[in-house]
Amino acid sequence: MEDTINHFKLGFVERIYMEEYFKIFITPKIKAAKSNKPKYGYCWRICGEKSAGHFHLFWECYIVSSFGEKVVSEIRSVISSEIDFNFSVVYLGNLPPELNKQDRYLLQISLAGCKKAKTTKWVSDEPPTLSE
């Protein structure tokens, strides 16, 4: 967790958000460490990752990252500005400053829905769909 927080140079609010997020969602990596059984560390989406932590499960896992790309693609087709598909924008809400108020609101709502869909499918081996 500290690596993620330091890597993205998070502010106070973002840091609190990420710390709470990490407390709630137990990962295979945490289970493996607590049980001292490395076999419990495999990603439950069966992607081959042997030590699946939060960053992997929410962002890096190729099975679920395709869902995030689809969401951002849908958003790009609606709003007038180009947005990057990266962790800072999607998870930390660091939105482009040139966004107008309406696009900013739409983007925030859409990204919140994206995060909710991922968390509701937290232990599933299937990624969420756009209709969810």
- Positions touching Zn ion (CB under 5 A) are 43, 45, 47, 49, 61
Given the complex with Zn ion, which of 65 and 88 has the nearer CB atom? 65
Least distance in Å: CB of 106 to Zn ion? 29
Query: Which SS3 state, helix, strand or coil, does residue 16 take?
Result: helix
In eight-state DSSP terms, residue 127 is P
Quote the CA–CA distance of 122 and 13 in Å, as a whole number: 24
Least distance in Å: CB of 124 to Zn ion? 12
* DSSP H or E run through 35: helix 28-35
Dihedral sign (CA 124, 119, 84, 86): negative
Least distance in Å: CB of 43 to Zn ion? 3
Given the complex with Zn ion, which of 49 and 103 has the nearer CB atom? 49
